Amino acid sequence: MPWSQIYSEFLAWCHIAGSVAPWIGSFIYHLFMNTERGSLYYHRLLKLDMVGIWVSQSFGALPMVCASVFCLGRPLQWLLILCYCVFAISGLCKAMVASSPWKRRLCFTLPFLMRNLLCILRYSSYGGGSPQAMGSVILQVIQDLVSVIGGAIGAMNIPEKWFPGCLDMYLNSHNIMHVLVVLAVYFMHQATILDLVWMASGVCGPDRHQIQHPTSHMQEEL
């Protein structure tokens, strides 16, 4: 983290929490899922896994949300950020009581749609965010979409249902989904650092395309 150049330490910590939470949740879930303690124990582990994903999609996305609305008027900024928080919290509440894998995945639809709309806002003249991060943000949205597809193939057990017994160790749908999530978080990390540095510059409008970022300096030095 380029701590000396970033806009807000709170947002930086949100990003760090969002980047590590899915690994902690999934790691604990997968490590203990095979113990024979009954369904209640298993469902508690599953909830922990869900909370990890939720922290990643809510706190982890907060710097991107704040950067996207950065150039709007204060009341509108807070309204949109509040909207995202409400969508994220209601998604968590629904995910905690969801009865099937499909329902659990659908709980994250609203925050996901809002992130996509914010991405469109970034491309308009009203939007904010580092212009350099836009490529990464688009990639992250694509990865987001791929994660949704990953979730869908997981719920449908594709491709392991076509090759019974052959993909138990690797290349099954859950395995593929986790690899896609690694990619998504990697792109989120790249885009978030650029956004945090851009917000510190505070330049909105057409001028924001002229800002030099620490990574471009680094590339020049290299």
Options 25-33, 51-59, 65-73, 102-110: segment touching Zn ion (CB under 5 A): 25-33
**CB-wise, 133 or 177, nearer to Zn ion?**
177
Q: Between residues 127 and 151, which has the closer beta carbon with respect to Zn ion? A: 151
Residue number of the CB closest to Zn ion reads: 26
Instruction: Please tell me whether residue 157 binds Zn ion under the rule CB under 5 A.
Output: no
Q: How many CA atoms lie within 13 A of 173 on its CB side?
A: 19
Decide if residue 175 touches Zn ion (CB under 5 A). no
- Please give, one letter per residue, the 3-state secondary structure of the chain: CCHHHCCCHHHHHHHHHHHHHHHHHHHHHHHHCCCCCCHHHHHHHHHHHHHHHHHHHHCCCHHHHHHHCCCCCHHHHHHHHHHHHHHHHHHHHHHHHCCCHHHHHHCCHHHHHHHHHHHHHHHCCCCCCCCCHHHHHHHHHHHHHHHHHHHHHHHHCCCCCCCCCCCCCCCCHHHHHHHHHHHHHHHHHHHHHHHHHHHHHCCCHHHHHHCCCHHHHHHHHC
At its nearest, how many Å lie between Zn ion and the CB of residue 175? 8
The residue range among 19-27, 95-103, 158-166, 202-210 that interacts with Zn ion, by the rule CB under 5 A, is: 19-27
Minimum CB separation of residue 30 from Zn ion in Å reads 6
* Binding window for Zn ion (CB under 5 A); candidates: 18-26, 67-75, 96-104, 163-171: 18-26
Segment near Zn ion (CB under 5 A); pick from 24-32, 55-63, 83-91, 190-198: 24-32
Nearer to Zn ion, 8 or 26 (CB): 26
Q: Is 26 among the residues that bind Zn ion (CB under 5 A)?
A: yes
Q: Is 77 in the site for Zn ion (CB under 5 A)?
A: no
Task: Give me the residues that bind Zn ion (CB under 5 A), please.
Answer: 26
Q: Which residue positions form the known binding site for Zn(2+)?
A: 30, 174, 178
